[in-house]
Amino acid sequence: MAEGKGGFTLAELLVSCGIMTILLAAAYTLWQTGLGLWQRESDVLAIQQEGRIVLEMVAREVRRARADSVEIMPDGGSDRRALQFLVDEGEDTQAKISYLQDGAQLMRRKNKGDGAGTNVYLTKLSRQNGFSVSFVNTSTGSRRRDAGSRLAENEVIELTLRCQRITGDYTVQTRVTPRN
């Protein structure tokens, strides 16, 4: 630097610009990583919440089922199973309700004798074992998943949803007992 004049040399400016570039690149990388983690966790939270809501809707309906009508049915000849039961809908009126997996969807079928209706409840199921049903013995803890099985007195129904996302599979599970 010349005497009496203030300022920076070209070398000082290049060094400071290089340091600033490195700091900005590090800050940008941290920001991108944080944003990616936040999006992933938001996705996980959304699928878990959706799975819990759907499973609670199914459980609420199963609680209304006639206990002697709850059974595990074969689902189209495959090794997958459907849950089927009867629900009282008023005087002398019953509806047959089935929950089953169709591809990546959880389907609900209701037949009241006046026609059948189908609703899609969840569209992000794992294609393998996305919806499973077991009867669990409350004394021994043993499970039954056989097609044609009917709920026994000392058993509860275990419902499991496995939801699939790019970030991984997530499982939501509950046990429910019919009240009727």
Q: How confident is the model at residue 122 (pLDDT cuts 50, 70, 90)?
A: low
Per domain, the residue ranges of the chain are 41-176
Q: What is the pTM of this model?
A: 0.69
What would the 3-class secondary structure string for the chain be?
CCCCCCCCCHHHHHHHHHHHHHHHHHHHHHHHHHHHHHHHHHHHHHHHHHHHHHHHHHHHHHHCECHHHCEEEECCCCCCEEEEEEEECCCCCEEEEEEEEECCEEEEEEECCCCEEEEEEECCECCCCCEEEEEEECCCCCEECCCCCECCCCEEEEEEEEEEECCEEEEEEEEECCCC
Predicted confidence (pLDDT) per residue in 127-170, tens digit: 666 788 888 988 888 888 887 888 888 899 999 888 776 667 78
Predicted confidence (pLDDT) per residue in 44-66, tens digit: 787 778 888 888 888 998 998 88
